[in-house]
């Protein structure tokens, strides 16, 4: 029984990690294509083994512990970030009843996990005992906390329409029409908030090494850095999966008729995640970085009122037409 559980968990974790590895390769390849260069093409066939080589490089490098750092917390922070980015996958349904834990409060669980994710960053910044890392950590933490608020409102909108916190029921509620059709503005808003939540372009202040001396992870090297990196990319995949589940009908095929139903459900889900991954990368390649005050005012003065207003609109429409799900 225990062995079976461990195997189940590994079957998700290993696949997520491979997905993360090839996410980085896809990023470099697609960005290379956009910028009219080749990208990595030496290691393995067409550079397919590049992520493994990168991982090996980071693994064998020397880990530097700053002498003034708080050692325990300094080592704990990347582990926490990495672990939290993986445990969110527990509630993601990959297909019909293809989910590790089908809990009733799946969305709240995901919100709680992403709320905990802030701690990895704060811990890293504080325990490094360096001004740049600390300021970077405060910046990233404030950014994540403020975009979480509008993400919460968007999630409540979706939950109102599906009548459940369970991710599988949310997918099943979209059998007639995907939520991205009636909630198109929220779909766009959610994706942008996901970009901000994962500290990604155009909101990637932690990566602004030229103007802000990077972020919370300046003092990290080798494996610590690799764990942050992996955690960040796993989070991006998780947010892509969540967007696909909430707005693009998760594992449901495009139309429930013959040529679309040949493709298995989980492959549909993978295709949707892949689409968002490409969108993440294209965003990085073609958008400039936001200034910090612009980022905050966008989050609090545009996204929050808009998502709150949309929530009230949705609730009143559902009430007045008696469309509320049971």
- Contact residues toward another protein (CB under 8 A) are 73, 103-105, 108-109, 111-112, 115-116, 118-119, 122-123, 126, 134, 138, 141, 145, 148, 165, 293-294
From residue 57, give the alpha-carbon distance in Å to each of 5, 31, 284. Answer: 32, 22, 25
Number of Cβ within 10 Å of residue 22's Cβ equals 15
The nearer residue to another protein, 5 or 294, going by C-beta atoms, is 294
The nearer residue to another protein, 31 or 172, going by C-beta atoms, is 172
The nearer residue to another protein, 24 or 70, going by C-beta atoms, is 70
Half-sphere exposure of 97 (CA within 13 A, CB side): 0
Question: Dihedral angle at the C-alpha atoms of 12, 84, 149, 95, nearest 10 degrees?
Answer: 10
DSSP collapsed to 3 states, 118-156: HHHHHHHHHHCCCHHHHHHHHHHHHHHHHHHHHHHHHHH
Tell me the backbone φ, ψ of residue 174, rounded to 5 degrees. Answer: -100, 15
Task: Please choose, from the candidates 108, 105, 127, the residue with its C-alpha nearest in 3D space to the C-alpha of residue 116.
Answer: 108
The nearer residue to another protein, 133 or 248, going by C-beta atoms, is 133
The nearer residue to another protein, 50 or 146, going by C-beta atoms, is 146
From residue 99, give the alpha-carbon distance in Å to each of 95, 155, 264. Answer: 7, 20, 15
Tell me the backbone φ, ψ of residue 94, rounded to 5 degrees. Answer: -85, -15
The nearer residue to another protein, 11 or 316, going by C-beta atoms, is 316
Query: Considering the complex, what minimum distance in angstroms separates the CB of residue 293 from another protein?
Result: 8
From residue 63, give the alpha-carbon distance in Å to each of 60, 98, 218, 224. Answer: 9, 39, 13, 7
In angstroms, the CA 83 to CA 154 distance is 26
The nearer residue to another protein, 92 or 123, going by C-beta atoms, is 123
Query: Considering the complex, what minimum distance in angstroms separates the CB of residue 4 from another protein?
Result: 19
Query: Considering the complex, what minimum distance in angstroms separates the CB of residue 108 from another protein?
Result: 4
In angstroms, the CA 107 to CA 89 distance is 12
* DSSP designation for 289: P
Query: Considering the complex, what minimum distance in angstroms separates the CB of residue 199 from another protein?
Result: 16
């Amino acid at each position: 029984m225990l062995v079976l559980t461990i195997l189940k968990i590994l079957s998700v974790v290993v696949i997520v990690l491979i997905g993360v590895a090839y996410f980085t390769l896809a990023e470099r390849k697609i960005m290379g294509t956009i910028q009219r260069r080749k990208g990595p093409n030496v290691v393995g066939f067409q550079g397919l083994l590049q992520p493994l080589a990168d991982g090996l490089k980071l693994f064998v490098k020397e880990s530097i512990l700053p002498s003034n750092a708080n050692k325990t917390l300094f080592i704990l922070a990347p582990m926490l970030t990495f672990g939290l980015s993986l445990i969110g996958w527990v509630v993601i349904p990959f297909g019909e009843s293809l989910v590790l834990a089908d809990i009733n409060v799946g969305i709240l669980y995901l919100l709680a996990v992403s709320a905990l994710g802030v701690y990895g960053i704060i811990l890293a910044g504080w325990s490094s005992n360096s001004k740049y890392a600390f300021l970077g950590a405060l910046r990233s933490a404030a950014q994540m906390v403020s975009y979480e608020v509008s993400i919460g409102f968007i999630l409540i909108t979706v939950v109102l329409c599906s009548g459940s916190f369970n991710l599988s029921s949310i997918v099943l509620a979209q059998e007639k029409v995907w939520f991205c059709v009636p909630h198109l503005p929220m779909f766009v808003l959610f994706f942008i908030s996901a970009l901000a939540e994962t500290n990604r372009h155009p909101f990637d202040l932690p990566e602004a090494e030229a103007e802000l001396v990077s972020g919370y992870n300046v003092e990290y090297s080798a494996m610590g850095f690799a764990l942050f990196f992996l955690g960040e990319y796993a989070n991006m995949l998780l947010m892509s999966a969540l967007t696909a589940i909430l707005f693009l009908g998760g594992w449901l095929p495009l139309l429930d008729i013959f040529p679309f139903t040949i493709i298995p459900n989980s492959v549909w889900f993978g295709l949707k995640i892949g689409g968002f991954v490409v969108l993440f990368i294209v965003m990085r390649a073609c958008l400039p970085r936001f200034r910090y005050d612009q980022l905050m005012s966008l989050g609090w003065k545009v996204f929050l009122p808009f998502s709150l207003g949309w929530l009230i609109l949705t609730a009143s429409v559902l009430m007045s037409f008696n469309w509320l799900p049971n």
